[in-house]
RNA sequence: GGUUCGGUAGCUCAGCUGGAUAGAGCAACAGCCUUCUAAGCUGUGGGUCAUGGGUUCGAAUCCCAUCCGGAUCACCA
């Protein structure tokens, strides 16, 4: 049994035997002792005074004596005001070290055959522009969440819904036909998603020009929009697409293929992937069927103009449009259709949508609608809502050209990491290929960690010039720490030492060693908390603390390689577990660790 | 305006279901490379936790109000 539980039980027992009072186990105020105080666990006795009817110090002392007598793991205790600090024995911590050094998957739960299936949707790009900084946050969060869910014993299906239909796609297609027919990614040497994105921008520019000239002729903004020939052509194209016009569909397929190829490269660079990809072009009709079925069952209603609505006033919300008066689908309809297809494909127990917080309302509504339509997981769906990524000068605006492109950003990071490595002379003596792999790992580590360490709910500021660092609370710092751990074992091997993970009892531990052990023992709780709170940031901040603590330990108490001693073995075991824990925590974040750097 | 999320050091962020003297990193300054990797370590300075009330042994944390900022309130996606 975990030591926390044992202490709590004994506290309950102490209250009973000393004061004849009852307290529920969960209500025992047990905490991890502050760093600047002596001890491992602390019982806060203030809330217990009502039961003991004695002064804080007195209560704490009496409880301390009781606990020390009853639990051999407790070596001593001290009382400061109403705080009872319990110090666990070195032997207890050594036994913890021995236990966890033996378990390869310490902190991770195995996935049972009947484990719940969690589906996580993330990324969800439009096919008319390349991925940008906001998508990076989305992808990294989604990917990390899937690993955290997996580590907590869930079956996980990573999914992506690609928005591949609609007027915006037609704009790119039209621009290509008008001003770029014959141009391909091959002919331009451009990534497909960027090429298509360029045509989308081109459409927008020409559309603006057209509007301007229309307005110059005295039309109002509204009239100009109505009169625009370009927009009319785009709408026509959408109709043709919906009608299955072979030429339009062919072009649509071709251009989408370009985009997907480009996306695949970006996903690969980011290190994320999916188990199942859905396309809105396949789901929007299903959604319409679902809504019509709901209409037949009188869950929804039809207005005079033919549009279909859901009345959500009983749930404290308003009315929501599900089908336009012309019978076509809206965003919500598509999400319902996608849900249906997913439900048919997988036995989903829990659904997680990683989508920005500007869609909080949408998912509130979706949850209610899916529930009404009979999806078991509808009510409990999780909208993992994250904040925007802002630049130092404000928000990213495509019009103002302040969008940070994902591919560019990654390239920039890699370049910086390369320059930095060269400057420090870190990769001298490595083949170009090895060096390139290492600074790539570092660059991505920096980017990923920077984004994941922030609480996802908050909007965050990202300065491409200055924010990304390789020192301090960063990915590379943690990677560096891992590399140093590996170096310890390389050194040992060079010296021909036999590295045993056997831990002998009776050793005395330094404060740093004790702190490290305490942190390592806490890892499973961190993994579990991260899952319950949907927070990769929890893991990120944990692994930084661990790395920092290890660096201090490493610096303060060098390992004496030459003597084969129990102390050295204990430190080897400690270092080994630290390395493993860093690797596992970083795995949860989707960040690679280099063997050396 | 309604709903909702946020406001912690010059900057970027931690601070769990209320607990001890509010913590890291960056930036600034001062030290440490004959010792397992200096992408490291040590030290110094830096705070009215937006503001005002309330709840209690105890509040950055919970409640109310106010101020400031974001998001949202489409037959857009």
Residue A389's DSSP bridge partners are A460
Task: Say which range, A76-90, A439-453, A488-502, has the weakest mean pLDDT.
Answer: A488-502
CB A503, CB A570: distance < 8 Å: yes
Give the residue whose CA sits closest to B71 at C1': A358
A492-502 pLDDT, tens digit per residue, is 888 888 777 88
A389-390/A74-80 β-pairing: unpaired
| The CA-based dihedral angle spanning residues A482, A483, A487, A490, taken in that order and rounded to the nearest 10 degrees | 100
Give the nearest nucleotide to A424, CA to C1'. Answer: B39
Q: Which residue has the tokens 């195995």?
A: A110
- Rounded, the Å distance between the CA of A350 and C1' of B23 is 36
CB A590, CB A272: distance < 8 Å: yes
Instruction: Enter the ipTM.
Output: 0.95
Residue A400 reports pLDDT greater than 80? no
Q: What DSSP letter does each residue of A271-320 carry, written as one string? A: T---SEEEEHHHHHHHHHHHHHHHHHTTSSEE-TTS-EEEE-GGGT--EE
Residue A2 reports pLDDT greater than 90? no
Q: Which residue has the tokens 């045509």?
A: A199
Give the residue whose CA sits closest to B13 at C1': A454
CB A199, CB A169: distance < 8 Å: no
Give the nearest nucleotide to A329, CA to C1'. Answer: B75
For residue A262, what pLDDT is reported? 96
Give the residue whose CA sits closest to B72 at C1': A358
**To which H or E segment does residue A48 belong?**
none
Average pLDDT, whole number, for chain A? 91
- Rounded, the Å distance between the CA of A35 and C1' of B20 is 11
Distances (CA, A) of A320 to A53, A307, A310, A362: 58, 11, 5, 10
Give the residue whose CA sits closest to B32 at C1': A555
Q: Name the residue with higher pLDDT: A428 or A149.
A: A149
Give the nearest nucleotide to A394, CA to C1'. Answer: B70
Q: Which residue has the tokens 């420090």?
A: A424
**Paired tokens of A127:** 């096919």
Give the residue whose CA sits closest to B40 at C1': A551
Nucleotides of B under 7 A from a protein CB: 4-6, 11-17, 19-21, 24-27, 35-42, 57-58, 70-77
Residue from A98, A96, A83 nearest A4 by CA: A96
Residue A126's DSSP bridge partners are A163
**A97: helix, strand or coil:** helix
Tell me how far apart the alpha carbons of residues A267 and A123 are, in angstroms, rounded to a whole number: 10
Residue A196's DSSP bridge partners are none
**CA A266-A267-A273 angle, 5° bins:** 170
**Paired tokens of A281:** 């072009």
Give the nearest nucleotide to A357, CA to C1'. Answer: B71
Give the number of C-alpha atoms closer than 13 A to the C-alpha of residue A551, restricted to the C-beta side.
16
- Rounded, the Å distance between the CA of A192 and C1' of B74 is 32
Q: Tell me how far the alpha carbon of residue A358 is from its chain's centroid.
A: 18
Residue A1 reports pLDDT greater than 80? no
A382-386/A350-356 β-pairing: parallel
Give the nearest nucleotide to A333, CA to C1'. Answer: B77
- Rounded, the Å distance between the CA of A101 and C1' of B36 is 21
Give the number of C-alpha atoms closer than 13 A to the C-alpha of residue A476, restricted to the C-beta side.
23
Please tell me chain A's helix, strand, coil percentages from 3-state DSSP, rounded to the nearest 5.
Answer: 55, 10, 30
In this prediction, residues A533-556 reach a mean pLDDT of: 94
Sheet of A319-323, strand order: A301-302, A308-311, A319-323
- Rounded, the Å distance between the CA of A379 and C1' of B65 is 34
CB A100, CB A47: distance < 8 Å: no
Sheet of A30-32, strand order: A30-32, A41-44, A83-88, A74-80
Tell me how far apart the alpha carbons of residues A126 and A219 are, in angstroms, rounded to a whole number: 32
The model's confidence at residue A545, banded by pLDDT at 50, 70 and 90, is: very high
Residue from A488, A510, A478 nearest A576 by CA: A488
Residue A443 reports pLDDT greater than 80? yes
For residue A493, what pLDDT is reported? 87
The model's confidence at residue A399, banded by pLDDT at 50, 70 and 90, is: low
Cα Rg of chain A, angstroms: 30
A343-366 pLDDT, tens digit per residue, is 999 999 999 999 999 999 999 999
Tell me how far apart the alpha carbons of residues A388 and A359 are, in angstroms, rounded to a whole number: 12
For residue A467, what pLDDT is reported? 66
Tell me how far apart the alpha carbons of residues A107 and A372 are, in angstroms, rounded to a whole number: 38
Tell me how far apart the alpha carbons of residues A196 and A127 are, in angstroms, rounded to a whole number: 8
Q: End-to-end CA distance of chain A, in Å?
A: 40
A81-124 pLDDT, tens digit per residue, is 889 999 999 999 999 999 999 888 899 999 999 999 999 999 99
Give the residue whose CA sits closest to B24 at C1': A473
A165-214 pLDDT, tens digit per residue, is 988 899 999 999 999 989 999 999 999 999 999 999 999 899 989 998 99
Give the nearest nucleotide to A168, CA to C1'. Answer: B77
Q: Determine what percent of chain A is predicted with pLDDT higher than 90.
A: 70
Most confident of the following: A179-193, A220-234, A415-429: A179-193
Tell me how far apart the alpha carbons of residues A585 and A535 are, in angstroms, rounded to a whole number: 13
- Rounded, the Å distance between the CA of A252 and C1' of B62 is 55
Give the residue whose CA sits closest to B19 at C1': A44
CB A447, CB A135: distance < 8 Å: no
Residue A382 — φ and ψ, nearest 5°?
-110, 120
Distances (CA, A) of A313 to A318, A330, A365: 5, 20, 11
CB A165, CB A284: distance < 8 Å: yes
For residue A220, what pLDDT is reported? 84
Give the nearest nucleotide to A309, CA to C1'. Answer: B75
Distances (CA, A) of A444 to A396, A410, A412: 22, 7, 11
Q: Tell me how far the alpha carbon of residue A195 is from its chain's centroid.
A: 29
CB A539, CB A588: distance < 8 Å: yes
């Amino acid at each position: 049994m975990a030591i926390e539980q044992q202490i709590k039980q004994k506290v309950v027992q102490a209250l009973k035997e000393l004061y004849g009072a009852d307290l529920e186990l969960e209500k025992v105020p047990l905490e991890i002792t502050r760093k600047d105080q002596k001890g491992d666990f602390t019982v806060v006795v203030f809330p217990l005074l009502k039961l003991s009817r004695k002064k804080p110090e007195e209560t704490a002392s009496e409880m301390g004596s009781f606990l020390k007598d009853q639990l051999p793991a407790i070596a001593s205790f001290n009382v400061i005001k109403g705080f009872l600090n319990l110090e666990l024995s070195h032997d207890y911590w050594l036994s913890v070290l021995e236990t966890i050094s033996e378990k390869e998957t310490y902190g991770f739960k195995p996935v049972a055959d009947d484990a719940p299936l969690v589906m996580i949707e993330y990324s969800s790009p439009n096919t008319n522009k390349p991925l940008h900084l906001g998508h990076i946050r989305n992808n990294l969060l989604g990917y990390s969440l899937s690993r955290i869910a997996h580590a907590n014993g869930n079956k996980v299906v990573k999914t992506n819904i690609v928005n591949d239909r609609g007027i915006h796609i037609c704009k790119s297609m039209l621009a290509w036909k008008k001003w770029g027919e014959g141009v391909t990614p091959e002919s331009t040497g451009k990534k497909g998603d960027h090429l298509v994105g360029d045509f989308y921008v081109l459409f927008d520019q020409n559309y603006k020009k057209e509007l301007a000239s229309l307005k110059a002729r005295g039309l109002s903004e509204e009239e100009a929009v109505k009169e625009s020939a370009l927009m009319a052509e785009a709408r026509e194209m959408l109709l043709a697409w919906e009608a299955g016009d072979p030429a339009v569909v062919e072009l649509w397929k071709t251009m989408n293929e370009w985009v997907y190829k480009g996306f695949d490269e970006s996903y690969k660079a980011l290190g994320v992937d999916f188990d199942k990809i859905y396309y809105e072009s396949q789901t929007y009709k299903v959604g319409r069927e679902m809504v019509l079925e709901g209409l037949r069952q009188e869950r929804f209603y039809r207005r005079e103009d033919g549009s279909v609505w859901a009345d959500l006033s009983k749930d404290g919300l308003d009315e929501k449009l599900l089908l336009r008066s012309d019978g076509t689908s809206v965003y919500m309809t598509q999400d319902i259709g996608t849900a249906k297809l997913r439900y048919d494909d997988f036995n989903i127990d829990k659904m997680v949508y990683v989508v920005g917080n500007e869609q909080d309302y949408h998912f509130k509504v979706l949850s209610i609608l899916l529930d009404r339509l009979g999806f078991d997981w509808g009510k409990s769906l999780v909208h993992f809502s994250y904040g925007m990524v802002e630049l130092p000068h404000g928000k990213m605006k495509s019009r103002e050209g302040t969008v940070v492109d994902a591919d560019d950003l990654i390239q920039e990071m890699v370049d910086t990491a390369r320059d930095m490595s060269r400057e420090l002379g870190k990769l001298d003596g490595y083949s170009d290929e090895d060096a390139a792999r290492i600074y790539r790992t570092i660059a991505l580590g920096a980017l990923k960690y920077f984004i994941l360490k922030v609480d996802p709910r908050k909007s965050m500021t990202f300065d491409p010039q200055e924010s990304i660092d390789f020192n301090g609370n960063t990915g590379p710092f943690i990677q560096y720490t891992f590399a140093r751990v590996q170096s310890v074992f390389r050194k040992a091997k060079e010296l021909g030492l036999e590295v045993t993970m056997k831990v002998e009892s009776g050793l005395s531990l330094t404060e740093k060693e004790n702190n490290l052990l305490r942190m390592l023992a806490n890892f499973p709780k961190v993994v579990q908390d991260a899952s319950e709170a949907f927070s990769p940031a929890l893991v990120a901040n944990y692994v930084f603390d661990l790395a920092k603590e290890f660096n201090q330990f490493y610096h303060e108490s060098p390992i004496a390689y030459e003597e084969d001693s129990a102390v050295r073995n204990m430190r080897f075991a400690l270092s080994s577990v630290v390395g493993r824990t860093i690797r596992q925590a970083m795995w949860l974040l989707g960040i690679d660790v280099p063997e050396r750097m």
